[in-house]
Chain A
Amino acid sequence: MRIKLFFLLSSAFASTLLSADELHNINQIVGDRSIGMAGAYGAVSDDPSGMVYNPAGIAFANAASMSANVNTLQWSQITYKDALQETFDYQRSAYQVLPNFFGVVQPFGDVMVGFSSAIVDSNQEKQDQVFDNLQGIERFTVNFHNIDTIYNVGPTVARKFSQKLAIGFSLPLHYRSSEYISNQSVVFEESNSDNLRWTNVYKKISEQGVRPKLGVLVVPIEKLSIGLTVDKTLVLNARQSRQASQCYTNDTDIGCSDQQNPSIEKTTLKPNYPIQVRVAGAWFPNSALLVSADFIHNSAVSSTTAFPGKEATYDAAVGLEWYWSPRWALRSGAYTSMANTPELNDLATNQSAHVDRYGATVSVARFSQGSSISLGVIGLYGQGKSQLFGSIPGLLQKTTSIDVNVFFTTSYRY
């Protein structure tokens, strides 16, 4: 028990937590119509949010238009079963308000051009927790601050070669900014020979690059659209710095019995991102109904000395849009967000969490001349395993994640 507690209080505790979100390839769902349809939009894409899902789609936009996620209120919670002293659950939650998409498209001669700004991955945790019911411990305090955001901002151009074929290309800039601060303090009970353990970890990541995205949209038969998108993030510049410090005190030693002074470790090694292939189909039986489905494959990424590898993932999304009048529409969908980490096994150490997630969306849209607003909600549930104390083989925690996003979007054509 003491050994497990020791590792719990070390910096390894926080660093293995599920964060935003290198462990999954499907993270933020953005756009106006697309968010309500769970991101099953690769074969629709005929408005500004198409620039994220399939740049070819904007060639089919029938007017200059803009759309935006005015706000998404995102709440997430992850629970590690019996994580503390193998008795108490450890639970963390995060909340953020995130306007995560803005896009505008406009005809320009024979082509449609657009510009979009999307936050494709984001997590903000600002957390302070105090545990005062652990065995042998008077007080365990965790202060945790983590902001990790990936932006894709840039232009798109698309051309319709006929009513049956369009090709589009996006070249957004990739920018990732991450800052991570973890402070943990343990005050032991008087009966314990240890007095205090304090650790501090600070990590900062910055990446700049591009995410070229090629899209094709074809109409093989009337009312059916097929889309294909291929993209890959290429990191051109990366900087990562990390510093950790700690001090443990006990009854016998003067000062820190075990001490790590702050020292900054820096690296400019570039991480590798997977190739993403999105194959999509959409069926438009009439002007009141639309059914779509996307299959998204992310390639495996080999591990390097600086970065862990990623396994290939196969995700899917299905979406539906139904108008019950010209002024009102209902959108809904379901999607997966599979872990890109291997299943955990009892013999290995330092394993990343493996949590497969399943989500559903529903939204209502109200239309007036040339504009629309939508209000909806996304629910995402995941279950899997984590290894919070990485150096103890066989000690795995059943892990459950719940995410709820309330979103408000708008679009306008002019």
Chain B
Amino acid sequence: MSDTWRIFFLVVMSMLTFQCASVPLEEDFRARWSQTLLTDNESANTEAEIKFGREVAARMLADIDGVENFEIQKYVNTLGNYLAQYSARPDLQFYFWVIESDAINAYAMPGGYIFITSAAYRLLENEAELAGVLAHEIAHVKQKHIVHALDIKAVGAGATLTQLTSGASDAFRVAMNQASEQAVALLKKDGLHQEDEYEADEIGLTIMVQAGYEPDAYLRFLQRVAMVSARQLEEVTQTHPSFASRLTALEAVKRDYGMNNLNYAQLPERFNQFKLE
């Protein structure tokens, strides 16, 4: 036997002997200090996003009540969290809430806070349509559209979202108030960038399909909304691109992603159990 093979077998036997020893390993000792950059920044950013979203949600709810139907709220929450699994944001706990409002709209706040109005909910005909609306809002959260639209750095004179939410000084607390006010204005009046809405439609549609829902249901819902009275649509037309252009873009998404004729679930019967009177 050559020296090479003697060395090889000697080392293998030694290693296997070591391996047999039962040593509990509790931590990843290989992790280097530089890796804390990744986890620290990510968790700090997520925490700030949640805090900011909570602030905006609280401001929204200041003059709006939630629908007092526990079963419906639970149903919407369950469905929303099921869809959120496909959002690639496992760092967030999503909350879904049906709020009392005559306006047909839905709102996505940073950090996973999502509202759908009672008027919009009443217009739904099946679970797939509800999934489409919620998925669209989840996409806004996923892409952090509000945070980007507010250009937080500009609001706080160079401040980051983390600094704003930390409330480290009076200046930051004032800036935080301003930012959350602007966020509410974006949601109810000014609207996001048009391209953000198209992007949310596209991502929302893919989330729907991944979750097993019929994508055409969302398009049918938008068509139905487009025919509702102008008074109920004042807010949504102010904050969103036209229904016609959205529907055209959605048809293109369906074609590009091969989503035509999928024949996925619509579940009208289950939805009807949670109809809002």
Residues of A near any B CB (own CB < 8 A): 44, 46, 60, 62, 163-165, 216, 218-223, 225-226, 228, 230, 275, 277, 279, 284, 287-288, 290, 297, 299, 312, 321, 323, 325-327, 329, 365, 367-370, 372, 413
Contact = CB atoms under 8 A, between A and B. Distances in A.
Interface residues of B, number: 28
Contacts of B31: 62, 287
B28 A62 contact: yes
B4 A277 contact: yes
Contacts of A290: 32
Contact of B25 (A163, A277, A288, A325): A163
Contact of B34 (A165, A219, A221, A323): A323
Nearest to B40: A326
Contacts, number: 91
A219 B41 contact: no
A277 B12 contact: no
B19 interface: yes
Nearest to A219: B25
Contact of A288 (B3, B11, B18, B33): B33
B255 to A, nearest CB: 30
Interface in B94-114: none
Contacts of A299: 2-4
Interface string B154-174: 000000000000000000000
A323 B2 contact: no
A312 B30 contact: no
B62 interface: no
B125 to A, nearest CB: 41
A221 B37 contact: no
A367 to B, nearest CB: 4
A234 B8 CA distance: 19
Interface string B1-36: 011100110011001001101011110111111111
Contacts of A275: 4
A230 B211 CA distance: 47
A323 B38 contact: no
Nearest to A230: B8
A287 B23 contact: no
A369 B37 contact: yes
Nearest to A225: B30
Contacts of B26: 222
A370 B18 CA distance: 34
B41 to A, nearest CB: 6
18 contacts: A44-B30, A60-B30, A164-B25, A220-B18, A221-B18, A221-B23, A225-B30, A228-B11, A228-B15, A275-B4, A287-B36, A299-B3, A299-B4, A326-B33, A327-B37, A329-B34, A369-B38, A372-B34
Contact of B41 (A44, A221, A369): A369
